[in-house]
Structure 1
Amino acid sequence: MKLKRILTFSNIIFFTTVVLLLFSIKTYAQWSYGMEVSPRQSPDKKLFHKIGYTDIEIKYGSPSVKGRKVWGELVPYDKVWRAGANNATVIEFGEDVEINGKALAAGKYGFFILPMDNDRWDIIFNKVYDQWGSFRYDEKEDVLRVQTLPVESKFTEDLTYSVESKGPEYGIIYINWERYKIGFEVKTNHLSHIEMVLTKSYRKADPILKWVCYVEGADYLLKHNAKLDLAIKWINQSEKEVLALKQEWNPKYTSKEFVMGNMYWIKARLLAIKCDFKGALEAADKMKMLKAGFLYYPTFKDNMKIDETIANWENGKN
């Protein structure tokens, strides 16, 4: 009877040990999938940036060097890396973009890097963004792969993502860590949004300034040499609205005549591009005839070479 009790007690101890062991394994598994209670040694970070009208968001874990050799050891060559720490890095584009010249649809992606020794590295956008590290990475789920050449850079202790804007439609995303900088180009189609943006701005604008929205829109298209027929339509609309304006001009704003001078000069250049030199000269004359204390023509006459440009138009040249 006593032996039976001992065996029963041993069974209880054994069963309890197994349960605790299984619970510990489960707890560790949860920890390894980012569910730990204690703070992470590699803190989670988030980067939000706009290129043109396109939102870009990057979520990543930021490991530190801590005196270790990173490339080729901590991050092995020839093995897909999560491009950060903890969960796989996630990158989201609000609009369709081009990555190093290749199309990528708007959406959220797992972001990985394949480092290579003395060679170009692969930048990978994968359908599966919700995963721990790159342990379950599946090449079959790749949406896009492009190559980049890492360059040596100043030492960076903590892995950091950044975006360098190169204009209204173009930028470079960089990953800086240890003594390497890895970058890839992002290009957006900002001009596809210009009409929507102008419409929103027009609705919100002070009634005295609504015509200025068309001036800015036309100027933007002129600078990018895009949708010039639309730009001419807008600049004509701005002229029509400002000439019909009944409200008294608010002195806190830039001189109305200054903005009108800009408007006429934009119109003149647009018409000249279309080889309507007669119309361009008429618009330029209207700019010159404006009278006020602060005017566009005398302010920018020299550095924009306005008189030289007008002389070319008089000779039928752009």
Structure 2
Amino acid sequence: MLKLKMSALLLGLSWASYAQIQLPALSPAVEISQKIGLTTATLSYSRPSLRGRELFGDEGVLVQGNKWRTVANATTRVEFSQDVTVGGQPLAPGTYALLSTPHEQDWTLHYYAYEKGTWTQFLDREPVLEVTVPHQQTKYAVETLTLHFEAIGLDAAQLVLQWGNSMVAVPVQVNEHEAILTNIDRVLAGPSNFDYFQAALYLHETQTNLPQALTYIQQVTQSESALFFQVYREAAILKDLNRNAEAIAAAQRTMQLAEAAGNDDFVRLSQQMIEALTE
């Protein structure tokens, strides 16, 4: 009986040790969080590798025309914190399961209201949104599947999927412009120089209202304590308004302030602007 108990104990210890073995995942998980404007976009997925296999074909990893989970292991999740437009179609804030159907000329991406469980549970459901985008052949192959955001601007980005020599890019637009303008008006009812600068920066970068951008930035630069990068923004706005003489004067002031601050980059940028406007 004692031998039997000892054997059971050793067997239990053996299984306990075995259960603690940790191995690297063939398709490691990744989570990416990206700001697009004021919206947070989050991707959660696993990354399979080709490992000598073909992406398409008789023995390929994927079959054209068949819906798949877009990755390996668990369902791909994409989350948006605010209203967005995906492929020109509105999508409410929330978490979505992302499936896709590859074709030779294009891919269709299917967005479903996310629920825990296997990805196959979504196959018979109606997607919240479907968008079809061109299938692009790339010159260089990507060994490990990647989902990421590219071409990130103030109000837009592209959700890019790459694997092998295949790539698709889905345009994502955030709908914050009016809210930002309303916020600017609210804050500037009692603004600081930082608020004025931020408002001018946004209006200038979006080319929304350059005269108003100039009004805002000059609320900052009229002070003797204005900083070199603030005065440079004034010069850039004046340049875009074709008020070249004033732009040159602002660039010269920028250069003096930047030299005093030891910032060679803005000295160089100011010189380049002056040269461009005096040619």
Would you say same fold, with TM above 0.5? yes
Shift of 1:162: 2.1
Structure 2 residue aligned with 1:301: 274
| Alignment of structure 1 residues 138-149 onto 2, 5 Å | 138-149=123-134
Structure 1 residue aligned with 2:66: 79
| Alignment of structure 1 residues 73-152 onto 2, 5 Å | 73-116=60-103, 118-133=104-119, 135-152=120-137
Q: Which amino acid aligns with 1:100?
A: G
Which has the higher Rg, Structure 1 or Structure 2? 1
Structure 1 residue aligned with 2:163: 177
Q: Which amino acid aligns with 1:126?
A: Y
Shift of 1:50: 2.0
* CA deviation map 1:239-287 (0-9, x unaligned): 6xx54x8xxx4xxx844xx744743774x579x69xxxxxx79977985
Structure 2: stretches of 5+ with no match in the other structure: 1-21, 259-266
Structure 1 residue aligned with 2:153: 167
> Are the structure 2 counterparts of residues 301 and 138 from structure 1 closer, same or farther at C-alpha, using a change threshold of 3 Å?
same
TM-score by length of 2: 0.68
* CA deviation map 1:189-235 (0-9, x unaligned): 35345458879x99xxxxxx941441342133033222567646634
> Are the structure 2 counterparts of residues 230 and 140 from structure 1 closer, same or farther at C-alpha, using a change threshold of 3 Å?
farther
* Aligned partners of 2:234 and 2:247 also within 8 Å: no
Shift of 1:123: 1.0
SS at match of 2:61: coil
SS at match of 2:121: coil
Shift of 1:178: 2.2
Distance between the aligned counterparts of 2:203 and 2:108, measured in 1?
A: 36
Q: Which is further off, 222-231 or 282-291?
A: 282-291
Equivalent position to 1:157, from 143, 149, 152: 143
Structure 1 residue aligned with 2:16: none
Distance between the aligned counterparts of 1:182 and 1:215, measured in 2?
A: 38
Structure 2 residue aligned with 1:67: 52
> Are the structure 2 counterparts of residues 228 and 103 from structure 1 closer, same or farther at C-alpha, using a change threshold of 3 Å?
farther
Distance between the aligned counterparts of 1:185 and 1:288, measured in 2?
A: 37
Q: Which amino acid aligns with 1:75?
A: L
Q: Does residue 1:222 correspond to 2:209, yes or no?
A: no
Identity of aligned residues (%): 22
SS at match of 2:256: coil
* CA deviation map 1:24-74 (0-9, x unaligned): xxxxxxxxxxxxx86643221112222223211111111121222332542
RMSD: 4.0
> Are the structure 2 counterparts of residues 282 and 140 from structure 1 closer, same or farther at C-alpha, using a change threshold of 3 Å?
same
| Alignment of structure 1 residues 135-284 onto 2, 5 Å | 135-153=120-138, 154-192=140-178, 194=180, 210-227=192-209, 231=213, 234-235=216-217, 237-238=219-220, 243=223, 249=225, 254-255=227-228, 259-260=230-231, 262-263=233-234, 266=237
Q: Which amino acid aligns with 2:82?
A: E
Shift of 1:164: 1.3
Distance between the aligned counterparts of 1:183 and 1:283, measured in 2?
A: 42
Which aligned segments of 4 or more residues in structure 1 are displaced greater than 6 angstroms?
A: 196-199, 280-286, 288-292, 295-298
